Amino acid sequence: MISLQHQLRRQWLLTLLLLMLPLLWLADYGVRQLTTHTVLSRLQHDADSLIAALTQDTQGNWQVDDSRLGALYQRVYSGHYFAIRDQQGTDLRSRSLWDKEPPAIQLASGDIRHWQQPGIQGDRLDEQWLSQAQGIRVQNHDFTLWVAEDIAPLQSELNRYRLAALALLVFALLALMLIQRRQLSRAFARLEPLQQQLRELRFGERDGLNAAAGQYPQEVQPLAEEIDRLLSLLQQRVSRSRNALGNLAHEMKRPLQQLQLLAEQLDPQHQQQQREALQRLRQLVERELKRARIVGMSSPGRQTRLSEDLPPLLQVLQQLYPQTSIRAQFDHSVVLPQDRDDMLELLGNLLDNACKYAAGEILLNVRHDDKEWLISVCDQGPGIAAEARQQLLLRGTRLDEAGAGGSGLGLAMVSDIVSSYGGRLQLQANQPQGLCVIVTLPATAGR
Half-sphere exposure of 59 (CA within 13 A, CB side): 3
From CA 31, how far away is CA 366, in angstroms rounded?
81
From CA 80, how far away is CA 91, in angstroms rounded?
17
pLDDT at 228: 83
Q: Which of 418 and 391 is assigned the larger pLDDT?
A: 418
Q: What angle do CA 299, 303, 304 make, to 5 degrees?
A: 95
Confidence label for 421 from pLDDT (cuts 50, 70 and 90): confident
pLDDT at 140: 87
What does 23-90 look like in DSSP terms, one character per residue? HHHHHHHHHHHHHHHHHHHHHHHHHHHHHHHEEE-TTS-EEE-GGGS-GGGTSTT-SEEEEEE-TTS-
Confidence label for 436 from pLDDT (cuts 50, 70 and 90): very high
Q: Which of 270 and 437 is assigned the larger pLDDT?
A: 437
Confidence label for 294 from pLDDT (cuts 50, 70 and 90): low
User: pLDDT digits over 316-334, tens only?
Assistant: 888 888 888 899 999 888 8
3 state DSSP class of 395:
coil
Torsion angles phi and psi, residue 265, rounded to 5: -90, -5
pLDDT at 152: 93
Q: Which of 217 and 91 is assigned the larger pLDDT?
A: 91
Confidence label for 295 from pLDDT (cuts 50, 70 and 90): low
User: pLDDT digits over 10-34, tens only?
Assistant: 888 889 889 888 998 999 999 999 9
User: pLDDT digits over 169-184, tens only?
Assistant: 889 889 988 998 888 8
Between the CA of residue 247 and those of 90, 243, 289, 341, 344, what are the distances in Å? 122, 6, 8, 18, 19
pLDDT of residue 430 exceeding 70, the answer is yes
Q: Which of 207 and 42 is assigned the larger pLDDT?
A: 42
C-alpha radius of gyration, the chain, whole number? 50
pLDDT of residue 366 exceeding 60, the answer is yes
Q: What angle do CA 243, 247, 251 make, to 5 degrees?
A: 175
Q: Which of 66 and 165 is assigned the larger pLDDT?
A: 165
Confidence label for 399 from pLDDT (cuts 50, 70 and 90): very low
From CA 413, how far away is CA 230, in angstroms rounded?
26
Between the CA of residue 107 and those of 36, 148, 274, what are the distances in Å? 22, 16, 123
Instruction: Give the rounded percent of residues in the chain with a pLDDT score beyond 70.
Output: 89
3 state DSSP class of 180:
helix
3 state DSSP class of 374:
strand
pLDDT of residue 75 exceeding 60, the answer is yes
pLDDT of residue 432 exceeding 80, the answer is yes
For residues 418 and 338, is the Cβ–Cβ distance under 8 A?
A: no
Q: Can you count the helices (H) and strands (E) in the chain?
A: 10, 14
User: pLDDT digits over 101-139, tens only?
Assistant: 899 889 999 999 999 999 888 777 889 999 999 999 988
365's CB contacts (< 8 A; 6+ apart) are 328, 329, 330, 374, 375, 376, 378
Average pLDDT rounded to a whole number, residues 61-79? 86
